[in-house]
Amino acid sequence: DIRMTQSPSTLSASVGDRVSITCRASQSISSWLAWYQQKPGKAPKLLIYKASSLESGVPSRFSGSGSGTEFTLTISSLQPDDFATYYCHQYNSYWTFGQGTKVEIK
Amino acid sequence: QITLKESGPTLVKPTQTLTLTCTFSGFSLSTSGVGVAWIRQPPGKALEWLALIYWDDDKRYSPSLKSRLTITKDTSKNQVVLTMTNVDPVDTATYYCVHILGKSGAFDIWGQGTMVTVSS
């Protein structure tokens, strides 16, 4: 199994902050990585696929980068609607998820 | 517009078999490239992929759960069914069915999820 490790587990930030979440894969996954946003009681929502491609309808303040084993999700200016939990997900070999990063209000 | 909806029991006893149905609209599982997956999330925990079936009946299972899972599709009814045998309280989770486009695609559209509790 390919293991996905996210950091940090929790991130405290304020509206307007630039925030970044890191995801590391236990082996190379090329660019087969996606990012999801999940709010309490709701299903996850796809934000980024193939490491850096923005899903249709997702605000441009979200961006993804990286390849191989290290990836980053960046929110350029945090908005009130962005407080949620974020998951990375590899689909290079089977499908596995990171443990999640909760973005909370500082 | 693609939608998916999960249905099944909310409470199952340990050792029983759990059967979940995903009913979808807006796409066909006979269309090349299309797939439907099952993913679960225990309360307060991370997401876990369980199984996936493609338009060509290619089936994939989580290696750790493979012996307990079966995924099937009924193209005429626009349904995908997941069965899980010998359930345990650790299988308590919200179960999601999810659309995937292509054998190198991400999980792009999710159902609302259905909560299943395993308890005697």
pLDDT tens sequence across B32-46:
999 999 999 999 999
Interface membership of A98 toward B (CB under 8 Å)? yes
Paired strand residues for A80: none
Q: Using the predicted structure, report yes or no on whether residue B103 has a pLDDT greater than 90.
A: no
Q: Is the pLDDT of residue B112 over 90?
A: yes
pLDDT in tens, A52-90: 999 999 999 999 999 999 999 999 999 999 999 999 999
What count of other Cβ atoms lies within 10 Å of the Cβ of residue B25?
11
User: CA gyration radius for chain A?
Assistant: 13
Interchain contact, A97 vs B47, CB within 8 Å: yes
pLDDT greater than 90 at residue B102: no
Q: Side-chain half-sphere of B111: how many Cα atoms within 13 Å?
A: 27
A32 touches B at CB < 8 Å = yes
Q: What is the mean pLDDT of residues A3-28?
A: 98
- Say whether pLDDT at A21 is over 90: yes
* Å between B120 CA and nearest CA of chain A: 25
Question: Which chain A residues contact residue B48 at CB under 8 A?
Answer: 97
* Residue A93 backbone dihedrals phi, psi, to 5 degrees: -140, 110
CA pair distance A63, B21, nearest whole angstrom: 35
Q: Mean pLDDT over residues A26-39, rounded? A: 98
A68 touches chain B (CB under 8 A): no
- Is the distance from CB of B79 to CB of A17 less than 8 angstroms? no
Binned at pLDDT 50, 70 and 90, residue B21 comes out as very high
How far is the C-alpha of A76 from the C-alpha of A62, rounded, in Å? Answer: 7
Beta-bridge mates of residue A87: A36
Whether B104 has a pLDDT exceeding 90, the answer reads no
A15 vs chain B: nearest CA distance in angstroms? 25
Residues 6+ positions from A68 with CB-CB distance below 8 Å:
A25, A28, A29, A30
Half-sphere exposure of B88 (CA within 13 A, CB side): 3
Amino acid at A69: T
> What is the distance between the alpha carbons of residues A74 and A20, in angstroms, rounded to a whole number?
4
CA distance B59 to B29: 13
Q: What is the dihedral of CA A7, A9, A14, A16, to 10 degrees?
A: 40
Q: Select from A95, A97, A99, A102 the residue whose CB has the most chain B CBs within 10 Å, as the one to mutate to test that interface.
A: A95
- The pLDDT of residue B50: 98
The answer to whether the CB atoms of B107 and A87 lie below 8 A apart is: no
How does residue B87 score in pLDDT terms, banded at 50, 70 and 90? very high
Contact B106 A34 (CB under 8 A): yes
Cα A25 from Cα A93, distance rounded (Å): 11
Q: Which of B47, B52, B60 sits opposite A87 (nearest CB)?
A: B47
